Amino acid sequence: MKVAVVGATGMVGNVMLQVLAERNFPITELLLVASERSKGKQMEYKGKTYTVIGLQDAVDARPDIALFSAGGTTSEAWAPKFAEVGCTVVDNSSAWRMDPTKKLVVPEINGNVLTKDDKIIANPNCSTIQLVMALAPLHDKYKMKRVVISTYQSVSGTGVKAVEQLENETKGIKGEMAYHYPINRNAIPHCDDFLDNGYTKEEMKLVKEPKKILGDDSFSITATAVRIPTSGGHSEAVNVQFENDFDLADVRKLLVETPGVIVQDNLDTNTYPMPIYAHNKDEVFVGRIRRDESQPNTLNMWIVADNLRKGAATNTIQIGEYLIENALVGTAVV
């Protein structure tokens, strides 16, 4: 496989290279791609030095797969150009997620929707991925009616400037602000831009994306997304009302048996998911599983995952692996 990593110099791009190496992704030729200002930069992968190339050079090289994490504007402009030469693009931005002609994929849940004709495939929002990993098996058995989500999202979800802001504030250094307010010792109920309905884009991603991934819009979702002063890992408090009643032991068993999900739920030992333990891991961790005693057929859960890995880089690469394993990607047009 000739593989291009587009946005290789960015935060998620760096994690993609780490995950590609860890998972021994089948690469015969690697193209590290970034904007013009990063062109010519030297980067290492598996002990070998690579020179970063520009987008047009990458298109001309006709890769088999392009893993994009370069922002929505770049994806909108360049993903079709890669697709035109027969390359399959897996895009980590929000550009194509709600496009009805593009698939939105978490491989463990709906990888089976992919075909060889899918040349631009959307990777869901980081918060959505960990949410649907836990919800999908429960929805299959109990059928969801309503989901209420509150997120506790790390600064790494905003990017390198936000990580630097938190580090500077922790050290008492005045520096560039990624947020309107200090993030250290604070919680900011503002992830992404506000929309006319009073919700943020991040909150509306959580409302819309799960329905597309699960192929079902019969349930309702509402969300509040909050930025907190953790450097990595997103957490979610999730309340789910089902049409059918459930047994807590069965819920735990379903989650334990779900590939990619790890249940951490032992109150006797104070065992529950936390971002500090999800760091650098690819699984989604679920705990604090309990019945909502205020209304029937309703469950509370706490869901945590590394937002740069399963929430971004790892899921993107897993889509690539699924395409290869199922012979859905091949040599690009020469």
- Whether the model pTM is above 0.85: yes
Q: What percent of the chain has pLDDT over 70?
A: 99
Contact 119, 87 (CB under 8 A): yes
Nearest to 278 by CA among 256, 308, 252: 308
Mean pLDDT, the chain, rounded, equals: 96
Helix or strand (DSSP H, E) at 66:
strand 65-68
**pLDDT tens-place string over residues 154-176:** 999 999 999 999 999 999 999 99
> How is domain 127-307 classified at the CATH fold level?
Dihydrodipicolinate Reductase; domain 2 (3.30.360)
**What band does 326 get if pLDDT is binned at 50, 70 and 90?**
very high
Calpha distance 93→75 (Å, rounded): 7
Calpha distance 228→190 (Å, rounded): 10
**Where in the sequence of the chain do the CATH 3.40.50.720 domains occur?**
2-124+312-325
**Where in the sequence of the chain do the CATH 3.30.360.10 domains occur?**
127-307
Residue ranges of the annotated binding site for substrate are 153, 227
Residue ranges of the annotated binding site for phosphate are 97
Does residue 268 register a pLDDT over 90?
A: yes
Residue ranges of the annotated binding site for NADP(+) are 9-12, 37-38, 156-157, 307
What mean pLDDT do residues 28-45 have? 95
Residue 258, pLDDT score: 97
5: β partners: 32, 67
Nearest to 17 by CA among 290, 309, 224: 309
Residue 26, pLDDT score: 96
Contact 286, 303 (CB under 8 A): yes
What mean pLDDT do residues 184-209 have? 98
**What band does 254 get if pLDDT is binned at 50, 70 and 90?**
very high
Does residue 332 register a pLDDT over 90?
A: no
Residue 230, pLDDT score: 97
What mean pLDDT do residues 225-248 have? 97
Calpha distance 169→152 (Å, rounded): 19
Contact 64, 331 (CB under 8 A): yes
Catalytic residues, by residue number, are 126, 234
Does residue 8 register a pLDDT over 70?
A: yes
What mean pLDDT do residues 255-268 have? 98
CATH class of 2-124+312-325: alpha beta
Residue ranges of the annotated binding site are 9-12, 37-38, 97, 153, 156-157, 227, 307
What mean pLDDT do residues 249-265 have? 98
**pLDDT tens-place string over residues 41-62:** 999 999 999 999 999 999 999 9
Residue 334, pLDDT score: 44
Does residue 284 register a pLDDT over 80?
A: yes
**What band does 330 get if pLDDT is binned at 50, 70 and 90?**
confident
**pLDDT tens-place string over residues 76-128:** 999 999 999 999 999 999 999 999 999 999 999 999 999 999 999 999 999 99
**Helix residue ranges, H only, the chain:** 11-22, 55-60, 72-84, 107-110, 126-142, 160-171, 201-214, 248-256, 275-278, 314-325
Calpha distance 292→128 (Å, rounded): 22
Interhelix angle 126-142/201-214, rounded to 10 degrees, is 40
Residue 331, pLDDT score: 58
Residue 65, pLDDT score: 98
Calpha distance 88→331 (Å, rounded): 10
Does residue 333 register a pLDDT over 60?
A: no
